[in-house]
Amino acid sequence: MDTLSRVTLVDPTPARMDLGRLIEQPSGDFSSEESQQLRQDFTRFMMRYKFGMEEIVTKLSILRDEFAHLHDTNPIENISSRLKNPDSILEKMGRKNCEPTFESITEKITDIAGVRVTCSFVSDVYHVFELLTSQSDVNVVDIRDYITDPKPNGYRSLHALIEVPVFMSDGEVPVLVEVQMRTIAMDFWASLEHKIHYKYREEVPESLLEGLRQAAETAGELDTTMERLHTEVKTAGELSVELQRKLRASGDVVPDEAFVERLRGLSP
């Protein structure tokens, strides 16, 4: 018996069965008036998430453009978004024992709409997060900081479940959007990890898992080093000669001016 059947048998009323069928076959032939109404309701349901996702993307794009034109550096490297397809929703309904109703899907599946932000440095991740969530119409529902506390496999990222208002013709609707923020190094690692798990269908050889854990440590060290160099570049011109001399005497590294100039050329 497939996932959809197991879920719909909880209460096999026509409307609930049709919602399951509609998610499984969004382009199928549903001729009854009730089914046509259900199709329209499902389309409206998904549009809410699409609009909520686009609202978050717009807010982030405004911040990125402002930094690009009015500030010396831009903390946002890339913004991407995705809306779960019906197959993914159906699969997650089965895993979460979610009943085929809009109310149950809204409650149990919180990542239908997702936005990912890639930043250069760890400090940029938290800075962009603060700028986004300080806006008056943004409500933070949940935060999971996998940068401070990485997952056992080495995954690092800042996850936030954010609620924004979407204004439809029938009124205002609060919509949840999952926002992931990470550095370039974290994103590179996560992309490789996803490809490996997809290829091996969760049966990943231990040697690869260990390699991923080591790569995660390397990526973390890279982020730390780049953050330090970035900070040194920003503050080098602010340090007095006497302070630089004391820092050198204490064993801390203060880059020579030629090196600083080269880094300034690379700095965003």
Question: How far apart are alpha carbons 185 and 253 in whole angstroms?
Answer: 24
Q: Pick left, alpha or beta for residue 130 (phi over 0 → left; psi -120 to 50 → alpha; otherwise beta).
A: alpha
| Whole-structure pTM value | 0.76
pLDDT for the residue 4: 33
pLDDT for the residue 115: 98
Residues in contact with 199: Cβ distance below 8 Å, sequence separation at least 6, in sequence order = none
Question: How far apart are alpha carbons 41 and 174 in whole angstroms?
Answer: 16
pLDDT for the residue 86: 87
Each domain of the chain, given as residue ranges in start order, spans: 49-200, 206-266
The amino acid occupying position 213 is: R
Pick the CATH number of 49-200 from 3.30.300.30, 3.40.309.10, 3.40.50.410, 3.30.460.10: 3.30.460.10
pLDDT at 25 over 90: no
Tell how far CA 62 is from the center of its chain.
18
Question: How far apart are alpha carbons 14 and 22 in whole angstroms?
Answer: 12
Read off the pLDDT of residues 85-99 as tens digits, 9 standing for 90 and up.
Answer: 988 998 899 899 888
Q: What angle separates helix 14-24 from helix 33-70, to the nearest 10 degrees?
A: 50
Question: How far apart are alpha carbons 9 and 26 in whole angstroms?
Answer: 20
Q: 117: helix, coil or strand?
A: strand
8 Å CB contact between 52 and 175: yes
| Mean pLDDT in residue range 185-194 | 93
pLDDT for the residue 60: 98
In this predicted model, which residue has the larger pLDDT, 246 or 217? 217
Question: In degrees rounded to 5, what are phi and psi of residue 221?
Answer: -65, -40
Question: How far apart are alpha carbons 154 and 147 in whole angstroms?
Answer: 10
Percent of the chain with pLDDT over 70: 75
pLDDT for the residue 268: 42
Q: Which of 54, 55, 178, 193 is catalytic?
A: 178
Question: How far apart are alpha carbons 261 and 91 in whole angstroms?
Answer: 53
8 Å CB contact between 61 and 99: no
pLDDT band at 239 (very low <50, low <70, confident <90, very high): low
By CB neighbour count within 10 A (0-12 exposed, 13-18 middle, 19+ buried), where does 232 fall?
Answer: middle
pLDDT for the residue 35: 73
Does residue 178 carry a catalytic annotation?
A: yes
8 Å CB contact between 126 and 158: yes
| Mean pLDDT in residue range 234-261 | 58
Describe the strand order of the beta sheet including 113-119 as a list of residue ranges.
76-83, 113-119, 171-183, 158-168, 139-145
